[in-house]
Amino acid sequence: METTEGTKKKKITGSEAVILSLINEGVDVLFGYPGGAIMPVYDAMHDYYDKLNHILTRHEQGALHAAQGYARVTGKVGVSIVTSGPGATNAVTGIADAMIDSTPLVVISGQVASSLLGTDAFQETDVVGITQPITKWNYQIKNAADIPEAIAKAFYIAKSGRPGPVLLDITKDAQFGEFEYEYKKIDFIRSYRPLPKTDYSQIDEAARLINLAKKPMALIGQGVILGGAEKEALEFLEKADIPFAYTLLGLSAIPTEHRLNIGMLGMHGHYAPNVKTNDADLIIAIGMRFDDRVTGNLDKYAKKAKVIHLDIDPAEVNKNVYADVPVLGNVKDTLPLLTEKISPNNHEEWLQEFRALINVETQKIINKQINPAEEGILMGEVIHKVSEAFGNDAIMVTDVGQHQMMAARYFKFKQSRSVVTSGGLGTMGFGLPAAIGAKMGKPDRPVVLFAGDGGFQMTIQELGTIFQSNIPVKVVLLNNSFLGMVRQWQELFFDKRYAMTELVNPDFQTICKGYHMPSELVDSREKLDAAIKNLVEQDGPYLIEVVVEKEGNVFPMVPAGASVSDIRLE
């Protein structure tokens, strides 16, 4: 039946209305796990398998992270469906992760019948109350006729302005109820203003400061990617000849090999941008939020610099770092206005200061990681080799920990939306399901997951999803038999008192065999190149487990509470 606006209305159930509304919003892939309170929706879905590809994950958290991976690589809204009670509470971690990392999701949860609300019925939880602080909007639907408008609002809110997750909790009686269905997409909600008003006088002032600056430095955040402003950012940076550094989630917005790229910011970022932050006379923050892992000690952050902050979310301006010139709006719109007003410039002397420090880090750290002299395999050399084997043009997914920081440092990128990682929440277990979602979103691009032995086991059951749906994800499991990042802190700051961080691991090869996933073990450097070749050439999913140095550390490192310029090389 035709369902677009203006067609003849037809009486259908609320559950079918959910499915038709998703189709009308252009959803083609969704991730979920059925249960009693959402069963009517799954029953209705059975008639639309030709239009919707539902991926059955092994856990609701996996469904949420998969939807995040899908959203991050496509720019579309990710969709998850879960049941009530534990189904909904299992989804909370993924919702919180999406909120802090600005990932657009629509999460649909089933709920007990309206007559049972508040009675502590079987599998009843107040999911609206629980998720209110971690969603852009949430709403409980008790009437079938309210479903189309609620879903239209959910998609509009999730993807507009600064993106984020939205949750709709639908009671079982609303799923069974019948009404005359009509769907209208929404592009306006009274009192909701996703795009702030730009003050054009601030554009003039920002241009003035940029033209006067002798040592400007740009910070590229995920807002450039979310706004689709990669081209605009590049034109701005090249005209003004400004060196730029990425945040973790800003990685891949501009190709790694660009001459103005000075590296990644933050606690385990590159030496040059961290040290030179406190020498810069102008900081231009573009679509980033001055997270504590980027700034270090705020009392010592960029004290010589004026700050221009371009952002779509007014709440982020002056929250952590005072902005001398705030420029509100989507950076895709504001950057061209700024580029038009600035003068062409040349900052070669300033760039040479960065290059000198880049050379220091290359000699002291990078070369030793990618061409190690010691016998044990290092994370950096594995990641570097894998990146090159994929032509530096794969989608990189990570879990959370030492391998995440190493991957961010040693993997290279040629195109945008090539990084899927848990930034603000730092969710262990994120990687495997997120890689599934990324591959479903971009089936024509290679997707390679780097995971540690700790985080991998938190969602290891999603190997079953890969098997059932035949999703060709490539996995590099970096096994050091430790919760590596916590162990590193214990070594450096807790006198090597390794309290509960050493892992007694299972036989991962046997587990892979049980899930029918081809795999191989790399326990010596002589086996590494051949294993990576197999990883690249295998048509389907493939896992290589690499036994890496047990007590390796990630350097550089900004110690907690220190200034970014106090970054340690060892």
Q: Is the pLDDT of residue 5 over 60?
A: no
Claim to verify: residue 427 and residue 519 sit in the same structural domain: yes
Claim to verify: residue 288 and residue 391 sit in the same structural domain: no
Claim to verify: residue 391 and residue 483 sit in the same structural domain: yes
Active-site annotation holds for 172: yes
Claim to verify: residue 290 and residue 392 sit in the same structural domain: no
- 127, 147, 180: which is the final residue of a domain? 180
List the structure tokens of 536: 């690249």
Out of 16, 31, 45, 60, which one is annotated catalytic? 60
3-state secondary structure 278-297: CCCCEEEEECCCCCHHHHEC
CA separation (Å) from 221 to 36, 137, 236, 394, 547?
41, 24, 15, 20, 33
Active-site annotation holds for 60: yes
pTM as predicted: 0.95
Residue 541 lies in a domain: yes
168-184 per-position pLDDT tens digit? 999 999 999 999 999 99
Residue 38 lies in a domain: yes
Claim to verify: residue 125 and residue 206 sit in the same structural domain: no
- Residue 350 belongs to domain with CATH number: 3.40.50.1220
Residue 565 lies in a domain: no
- 305, 320, 354: which is the final residue of a domain? 354
Residue 6 lies in a domain: no
- The Cα–Cα gap between 316 and 416 comes to 24
List the structure tokens of 60: 């609701």
Strands 10-13 and 178-181: antiparallel
Residue 128 lies in a domain: yes
Helices within 322-417 (DSSP H only): 331-341, 348-361, 367-370, 379-389, 402-410
- The Cα–Cα gap between 148 and 17 comes to 7
Claim to verify: residue 434 and residue 462 sit in the same structural domain: yes
Query: pLDDT at position 1, please?
Result: 40
Q: Is the pLDDT of residue 4 over 60?
A: no
pLDDT band at 8 (very low <50, low <70, confident <90, very high): low
Residue 564 lies in a domain: no
Instruction: Name the 3-class secondary structure at 380.
Output: helix
Claim to verify: residue 343 and residue 384 sit in the same structural domain: no
- The Cα–Cα gap between 550 and 482 comes to 7
Claim to verify: residue 338 and residue 418 sit in the same structural domain: no
Residue 363 lies in a domain: no
Burial class (CB in 10 A: 0-12, 13-18, 19+), 21: buried
Claim to verify: residue 342 and residue 247 sit in the same structural domain: yes
Which among 332, 229, 221 is positioned nearest to 284, based on CA atoms?
A: 221
CA separation (Å) from 69 to 161, 382, 451, 467?
20, 23, 15, 18
Number of domains in the chain: 3
Claim to verify: residue 482 and residue 401 sit in the same structural domain: yes
Q: Are the C-beta atoms of residues 129 and 90 closer than 8 Å to each other?
A: no
- Residue 425 belongs to domain with CATH number: 3.40.50.970
Residue 361 lies in a domain: no
3-state secondary structure 483-531: CHHHHHHHHHHCCCCCCCCECCCCCHHHHHHHCCCCEEEECCHHHHHHH
Which residue range forms the structural domain that includes residue 497? Answer: 375-547
Claim to verify: residue 129 and residue 162 sit in the same structural domain: yes
534-557 per-position pLDDT tens digit? 999 999 999 999 999 888 888 899
134-166 per-position pLDDT tens digit? 999 999 999 999 999 999 999 999 999 999 999
Out of 122, 176, 493, 494, which one is annotated catalytic? 122
Active-site annotation holds for 123: yes
272-282 per-position pLDDT tens digit? 999 999 999 99
Out of 123, 461, 468, 538, which one is annotated catalytic? 123
- 128, 152, 180: which is the final residue of a domain? 180
List the structure tokens of 411: 């993997």
Out of 76, 136, 159, 172, which one is annotated catalytic? 172
Claim to verify: residue 141 and residue 204 sit in the same structural domain: no
Which among 405, 318, 423 is positioned nearest to 100, based on CA atoms?
A: 423
Out of 485, 490, 545, 557, which one is annotated catalytic? 485
